[in-house]
Amino acid sequence: MELPNVDLNLLRTLDLLLQEASVTRASQRLQVSQPAVSLALAKLRRHFGDDLLRRAGNHYELTPLAVQLKERTSLAMLGARRVFEAAPAFDPTAERREFTLLCSDYAAAVLSEALQDLSFTRAPGVVLRFERHTTADIDHAAERIRTVDGILLPHGFLSNLPYTELYTDDWVCLVATANTRVGDSLAMELLSELPWVFTYHAPTAFTSAGRQLQLLGVEPRVQVVVDSFLALPFAIAGTDRVGLVQRRLARKLTAAGDVRALECPFDAVAIAEALWWHPMYERDPAHIWLRALLTDAGSRLMTPGPATRSA
């Protein structure tokens, strides 16, 4: 079907109908009358040859086709918003804009501190949204990165995308303060004997230092797997377990005193955290500003100062 034959004004209505599964709630969010939304729904049903919303008792449910359309429609709305947000220049002191970045909780925690005054003083109307990335986001980064402003990841996971390096970090081992099997240092043989907590543990989801251990011939006895670096101390405190965590985050995780950080007994390769984005944003003034903001924040992390004392 030719696109000009489709009423694109229906896209917003379709998006809210699929989100709410309710004509009443969709009309409230659209701030139009229920009959107007019912008329739009009738047009959409004719277009798709499907009910889209099907009554089940006292509520509506999405049809199988509507379930398929829900995510596509949301992405289409996002794409449309990005089209109309485009401008020849970007004034951060006056603009109201939300940027979405996919990242781990580690990157969000470390960068948020460095950004605590940068974003407010430079752009009071700008919102930075940090969303946790998933394994699927990384496996399908070429598609996923179209829908966000960037992904924060170390080198080694993505390629063939533009990027800028933000900061470097290295690894330490986390053990319980009460762990009597570990003294003031860790020996390599203990890494084979102690049970482990791994952050991510899948073929395409892993920590570089954990993968390096295996390459060195150490097969960690993994007892717990978490998908959050911030969850590590809770899985380690009061046990004999050991985990790997970035040094900048370790300083925060050990503050409560339940766990302590020790130097790795092997030469763990440092990570270089980078911002990756889709090529279509390369010359976008707003995105250029975002990249400069994050680069500045990364520089702050690399320079001793208020933003890094507890990082």
| Number of Cβ within a 10 Å radius of residue 264 | 19
- The 10s digit of each residue's pLDDT in 161-195 is 999 999 999 999 999 999 999 999 999 999 999 99
Scored b (16 or more CB within 10 A) or e, 135-172 reads eebbeebeebbebbbbbbbbeebbeebebeebbebbbb
Average per-residue pLDDT for the chain:
88
CB-based contact 242:186 (threshold 8 Å): yes
Q: 0.75 cut: is pTM over it? A: yes
As to burial, measured by CB atoms within 10 angstroms (0-12 exposed, 13-18 middle, 19+ buried), residue 261 is middle
Predicted local confidence at residue 305, as pLDDT? 54
Predicted local confidence at residue 141, as pLDDT? 86
Scored b (16 or more CB within 10 A) or e, 199-218 reads bbbeeebbbbbbebbeeeeb
- The 10s digit of each residue's pLDDT in 62-89 is 999 999 998 888 878 877 777 777 777 7
Q: Which residues contact 122 (CB under 8 A, 6 or more apart)?
A: 92, 93, 293
Query: Position 207: which residue type?
Result: T
- The 10s digit of each residue's pLDDT in 183-192 is 999 999 999 9
Look-up of token digits 């729904």:
41
Give CA angle at 227 (223, 231), nearest 5°. Answer: 75
Q: Give SS3 for 169.
A: strand
Task: Show the domains of the chain with their CATH numbers.
Answer: 3-85 (1.10.10.10), 97-168+272-302 (3.40.190.10), 171-269 (3.40.190.10)
Whole-number Å distance between alpha carbons of 141 and 158: 8
> Does residue 310 carry a pLDDT above 70?
no
